[in-house]
Structure 1
Amino acid sequence: MAELGNSYCQFRLYCIRLSDEIVILANGGRKTSQTVQNSPQLMTHFRFANRMAQQLMELSQTGELVLDGKQIVNLDTIELLD
């Protein structure tokens, strides 16, 4: 939990780290419980970020997603599946 002044941060952000130089911000929201499992809205964002991370890892493993420094190269669009 991040501390801001005298109160604690009430916000969760989900991101995907593709490399040391590339991080994708997936989504987030107001933290309403100690666990994501008890926050229905956050659970939706958490599941989406996990699905996106899995699909991006698969694209990277097949060579369809290539990283060059701070760039994703040779890929105009990425279609994420539900």
Structure 2
Amino acid sequence: MTSDVRASVDNGIWLYANHGRLVDTDVITYTVETLHQYKANHYSQRKQALTGAAAERNVKYLIAFGPEIVAVSEINYAQDDQ
């Protein structure tokens, strides 16, 4: 990858510092292809939210429960017990 390609906005994925370090150090879990898919899914979701356009239905989410607990999953159910 050239320096120009590496520095390009198209190559960017914006994460909090802790998650950025995790992604940068765990190249087995967070492959280039996986990160590109996360980014494409996110853009598809944002497009749907802004335009109402149909988006992919099989979307995975990167979920952080703390700096050391990160999961890739789908949210099927959530409940607020308050």
TM-score (norm 1): 0.28
Instruction: Point out the structure with the larger helix share.
Output: 2
Which one has the bigger strand percentage? 1
- What TM-score results when the alignment is normalised by the length of structure 2? 0.28
The structure whose RCO (Cα within 8 Å, separation 6+) is larger is 1
